[in-house]
Structure 1
Amino acid sequence: MPLPQLVLDQFPVELIFDVFTYLTASEILHSFHNFSQYLRQCIRSYQHYKINFQSIRKREYDWICKVIHPDQIMSLTVSDDEETPGQMDLFFSNNQSFTRLEHLRLRNLEDFPNLLQMESALVALSACYPKQSACIFDQVYIRIKNESNNLFDKTPKNQLSIPVQSTENKDRILHTTKIENEPVVTVKGDYGQGTPTDQHLYTTRGVVNPTLLGAEKKL
């Protein structure tokens, strides 16, 4: 006796993809993967996944990596916190071809991962690292400066010769100069953003949104 067909199996794939846009990768897999062959085919074909590996269990991490390929990921958060130590090195050593990756977030950095060979469409990068690891700030800046031509398409290196400005409370703000039709890269270290133990670094292509970076303090 044939199994009854799911109502969702009658929906066009475009409509299924529209539903997926509102969900994370974990939500998609848990909600749709085990229901029908048609939905599993949709999951394999979808190319705009938003993946957050922060505080994820190893079993679920392995499941996502098995089902979803790097070239299907549009937004990615990777974390080296207490629950997922060494996750960045593990993930980026096994995956390099992120051809659709636009937004990358790196959390709880103790070192900046080697992204030099990463193939991506990256337009935004943010990194968050412990305040007590302030020395990483300079390392991150140097790595972004050296690797920006690879990470950010057509970003001229000479525009990343950025002055460092220090405020009384040790916040550090790095800026580049905007060139018409070229990316603006802004790097900001801010002890006042996020949790008390975090600093934040943000780089983006296009015009910087002050509401995203937070109001800059006067020097």
Structure 2
Amino acid sequence: MENLPVEILHRIIDNLHSGTILLSIRPVCRLFRAVINTYNRYIYNFEPISKSNFHLQCRLIRPENVIALILFNNEHIPDQISLFMSSVRL
């Protein structure tokens, strides 16, 4: 796995949901954590998300690595936009 170029791993990551990347792949091992930390093409769609996962992902987001962001105020998280703005340092 160490011989696999980071660019190939980033291409694979391009096809995954941001929550899967941060919450399922990143904690697997140090190599994956390093690869995920250098990945800079995140597209965050926070519409279908629980409040606990929302807060967790907000703590892990590196704004400089995000290319798109979709926020919604809905019945699950009625104040999602303001929560995001107060949780993430832009």
TM tier, smaller: 0.7 to 0.9
Residue matched to 2:21: 28
In structure 2, stretches of 5+ residues that fail to align are: none
Q: Which has the higher helix share?
A: 2
Matching residue of 1:70: 63
1:79 match: secondary structure: coil
Q: Which has the higher strand share?
A: 1
C-alpha distance in 2 between matches for 1:52 and 1:40: 21
Question: How far does residue 96 in structure 1 lie from its aligned partner after superposition?
Answer: 5.9
Deviations 1:80-122 (CA, angstroms, capped at 9, x unpaired): 001111111121244463xxxxxxxxxxxxxxxxxxxxxxxxx
- 8 A Cα contact 2:41 2:66, kept in partner: yes
> Which residue identity lines up with residue 41 of structure 2 in the other structure?
H
TM-score normalised by the chain length of structure 2: 0.84
In structure 2, the residue matched to 1:114 is none
Helix, strand or coil: the match of 1:85?
coil
For the residues of structure 2 that align with 1:23 and 1:67, how far apart are their CA atoms? 16
Query: Counterpart in 2 of 1:48?
Result: 41
Q: How far off is 1:16 after superposition? A: 0.8
Alignment size in residue pairs: 90
Contact 1:33–1:40 (8 Å) recurs in 2? yes
Q: Percent identity?
A: 28
- The runs of 5 or more residues in structure 1 that have no matched partner are 1-7, 98-219
1:81 partner SS: coil
State the 1:55 CA deviation.
3.4
- State the TM-score, normalizing by the size of structure 1: 0.38
Letter in 2 for 1:86: D
Larger gyration radius, structure 1 or structure 2: 1
